[in-house]
Amino acid sequence: MSGYAAVCLSCTEVVCGAPSIYLDFSRQKLDAKIAVAAQNCYKVSKGAFTGEISPAMIKDVGATWVILGHSERRHVFGESDELIGQKVAHAQSEGLGVIACIGEKLDQREAGITEKVVFEQTKVIADNVKDWCKVVLAYEPVWAIGTGKTATPQQAQEVHIKLREWLKSNVSEQVAQSVRIIYGGSVTGGTAHDLASQPDIDGFLVGGASLKPEFIDIINAKQ
């Protein structure tokens, strides 16, 4: 029920991730240069799936992106890697851009299996991607979401560069170099500049701070 915004810093592209009932309102009110994303969608175009929305519905109201695999979808609503992969495939087949989320929980980080977890999640996403030009990977350590804890710039950079190495080995060097990998996890106006200074952090998935004036500082973090 919260708001999200994705900020890609290379050309400062901003995408507003609104709750589904506000997608049309958001598209009408926002400047055309700001894209709109749904926060989730289902894996098929139609059927008896009460309460779900389809990529076709999302496109009908002018939204062009969807956020998939967010940690709350995984850990609160129990969505599996397999289901998230199916959603990625269907969203892409319908022409939506996908912001695909990956990330480890605190116990997984403490157990030293961060890379194992994020690689497994990324593989299922990658197996279902047909057009990498319309995919943004969002690394969001679950232990840093809404907790006030932020991964240090070095911790975030370590995972981002490992993800690029995985993409180089398992997808292609071109994809590894070109795909945008953004960071999510209690990003604020105060932390954004140092995070943005890391070479493999291409932007942010912003939760609560996207609803505050400091969001402008996050958008301008790379300048």
Would you please indicate which residues are annotated as catalytic (active-site) residues?
70, 140
Give the CA angle between residues 110, 113, 117 to the nearest 5°: 125
Length in residues, the chain: 223
Q: Rounded CA gap, 39 and 65, in Å? A: 9
C-beta neighbour count of 197 within 10 angstroms: 12
Give burial (CB, 10 Å; 0-12/13-18/19+) of 207.
Answer: buried
Q: Rounded CA gap, 158 and 112, in Å? A: 13
Give burial (CB, 10 Å; 0-12/13-18/19+) of 82.
Answer: exposed
Give the CA angle between residues 123, 125, 126 to the nearest 5°: 65
**DSSP structural state of residue 125:** H
For 155-208, give the DSSP string: HHHHHHHHHHHHHHHHT-HHHHHHSEEEEESS--HHHHHHHHTSTT--EEEESG
